[in-house]
């Protein structure tokens, strides 16, 4: 592995930066000396994050953006060009989750999730990639999920979007090899959010949603992994503990092995209900 890439005075854009992993990632980049661009739909929350980042003494730009809207994307692109003249790091973090039995899922909710998790990730990358290629430098980090590896019951549509992001990331990395633009994908496991905090973790474990040796991480854990993916040029970072790593290995060896696990070591009705409650 080569020398670490310094993030000092780099310009980093984080989508979905108003809360959760996005907010923690903004702090992590600012702490590493980067100028940070915050993008999310809620202007009031973006301003709160911007005020927090002022403590690091680096430039912060907050641009209220709905990344599924083309006009908003073009405004974001122009705002970054006006403020900094370039973009060094793109973190495609914005996303939605949806769980429960597929036949009970709202069609509009599925459409919105696919549009945000897949289309917007591809389109935001497409908007900012030309300037990175012109400068022959840059790093794109796409945020997926371990759900894209272990294919849990109750997450069929969500897992499809997360698997798509993994595939997009690896194909794009190979496409851009030698261009100076690097691509990473980070797969968080269960991460503490206000919604997760309201759930009964014992029920989640009893249902098999949190297998043995999985972790419930603070948002700072994937945030640090995202920064490290850039500074150390990591192609893929998988989080969530040994339980998810083992489940992914089982699926790669034979999908039937993971079928067997879900059949005999999980409570599928409870799993479907808990995932539906989580959203």
Half-sphere exposure of 170 (CA within 13 A, CB side): 9
Residues 18, 277: Cα–Cα separation, whole Å: 23
Among 56, 119, 158, 262, the one annotated catalytic:
158
Nearest residue to 59 via CA among 13, 105, 17:
13
Q: Which residue has the tokens 């907050």?
A: 62
**CA 245 remoteness from chain centre:** 18
Residues 268, 275: Cα–Cα separation, whole Å: 10
158 is catalytic: yes
3-state secondary structure of 187: strand
Residues 6+ apart with CB under 8 A from 143: 21, 91, 92, 93, 95, 165, 185, 186, 188, 222, 226
Catalytic residue positions, numbered:
158
């Amino acid at each position: 592995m080569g020398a670490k890439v310094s993030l000092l005075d780099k310009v980093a854009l984080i989508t979905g930066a108003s809360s959760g992993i996005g907010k923690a990632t903004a702090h992590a980049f600012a702490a590493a000396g980067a100028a940070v661009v915050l993008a999310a739909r809620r202007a009031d929350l973006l301003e709160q994050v911007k005020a927090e980042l002022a403590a690091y003494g680096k430039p912060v730009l907050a641009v209220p953006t709905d990344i599924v809207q083309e006009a908003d994307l073009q405004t974001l692109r122009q705002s970054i060009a006006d403020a900094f003249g370039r973009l060094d790091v793109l973190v495609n973090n914005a996303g939605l989750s949806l769980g429960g039995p597929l036949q009970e899922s709202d069609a509009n909710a599925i459409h919105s999730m696919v549009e945000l998790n897949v289309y917007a990730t591809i389109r935001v990358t497409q908007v900012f990639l030309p300037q990175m290629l012109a400068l022959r430098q840059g790093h794109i980090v796409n945020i997926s999920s371990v759900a894209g590896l272990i294919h849990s019951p109750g997450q069929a549509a969500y897992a499809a979007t997360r698997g798509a992001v993994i595939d997009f990331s690896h194909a794009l990395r190979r496409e851009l090899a030698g261009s100076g633009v690097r691509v990473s994908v980070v797969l968080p496991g269960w991460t503490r959010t206000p919604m997760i905090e309201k759930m009964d973790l014992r029920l989640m474990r009893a249902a098999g949603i949190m297998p043995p040796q999985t972790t419930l991480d603070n948002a700072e854990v994937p945030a640090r992994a995202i920064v490290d993916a850039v500074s150390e040029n990591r192609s893929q970072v998988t989080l969530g503990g040994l339980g998810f790593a083992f489940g992914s290995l089982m699926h790669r060896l034979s999908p039937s092995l993971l079928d067997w696990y879900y059949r005999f070591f999980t409570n599928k009705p409870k799993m479907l209900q808990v995932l539906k409650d989580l959203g």
